[in-house]
Structure 1
Amino acid sequence: MTSPKQIAASLTEFWSPRVVAEVDDAYIKVARVQGQLAWHSHADEDELFLVLKGRLVIEMEDRKVELGEGEMFVVPKGVRHNPIADEECHLMLIERKTTLHTGDVVTDKTRSLDEQLRPLD
């Protein structure tokens, strides 16, 4: 059995998602986040954010969505977005296996799929 909340709480890096399971062509990931990631988009993939702990704001060009614990939102493919957590927040993400961490941009926070798949400590 896997507890996404416990795994997210045990992570030591911010904005470094880890794959905890896979379902068909999707990865289930958890992450510990604080601050902002980067404006980016995923041309061909939707991205589901589920807040396990804390609050998350997802900025988009035409609006922003504020999520609290237990709430989720799907960013549709092709939509530029920027996730922000003013305080520490734990997330579960569901993404197709082809989804790049920061989509169409690369920053110092970008993590490769190999980094996301590495064994948990």
Structure 2
Amino acid sequence: MPMSLDAVNIADKLSQIDELWTQKKIAALNDYEVKLAKLKGEFVWHTHPETDELFVVVSGRLTIRLREGDVVLEPGDLYVVPRGVEHCPVAEEETAVMLVEPTGTLNTGDAGGPMTRAAEPLA
């Protein structure tokens, strides 16, 4: 694959996202995907048995509920949910996040269900 000389502008990519809880792939890094999503409300409790999950809050405020307690993220904060740890993201207001996960990681992990979606490329 030829090398790109184009930078990816995160704000521009976020402006193209209308649907909540849908991850959009904006870059690839080795066997990982860099994804953006807009969140609002409560997601599903789930785990990723095979991988850690990295969240970076771009705007808004994200609470990652864990069985041991909550982690609250403000813009510029990041948190890594360790593999196998059950968690439930919650955004009281619309929140934009960047995620870094192995290619093909499903958003609902082992929970499945109607909110499960594979990451889609964002042009």
Q: What is the TM-score with the length of structure 2 in the denominator? A: 0.90
For the pair 1:61 / 2:67, whether they are aligned, the reply is: yes
What amino acid is aligned across from residue 85 of structure 2 in structure 1?
V
1:13-92 equivalences under 5 Å are 13-92=19-98
Where 1:48 maps in the other structure, the secondary structure is strand
Where 1:7 maps in the other structure, the secondary structure is helix
User: How far apart are the structure 1 equivalents of 2:86 and 2:57?
Assistant: 20
- Aligned Cα RMSD in Å? 1.2
What amino acid is aligned across from residue 26 of structure 2 in structure 1?
V
Which has more radius of gyration? 2
2:120 to 96, 102, 117: 117
What amino acid is aligned across from residue 83 of structure 1 in structure 2?
P
Q: 1:59 to 1:95 in 2, by over 3 A?
A: same
Task: Structure 2: state its 5+ residue gaps.
Answer: 1-6
| Percent identity over paired residues | 36
Cross-structure match for 2:3:
none
User: How far apart are the structure 2 equivalents of 1:67 and 1:111?
Assistant: 24
1:98-109 equivalences under 5 Å are 98-109=104-115
Task: Structure 1: state its 5+ residue gaps.
Answer: none
Offset of 1:119 from its aligned partner? 4.2
User: Which is richer in helix?
Assistant: 1
What amino acid is aligned across from residue 9 of structure 1 in structure 2?
S
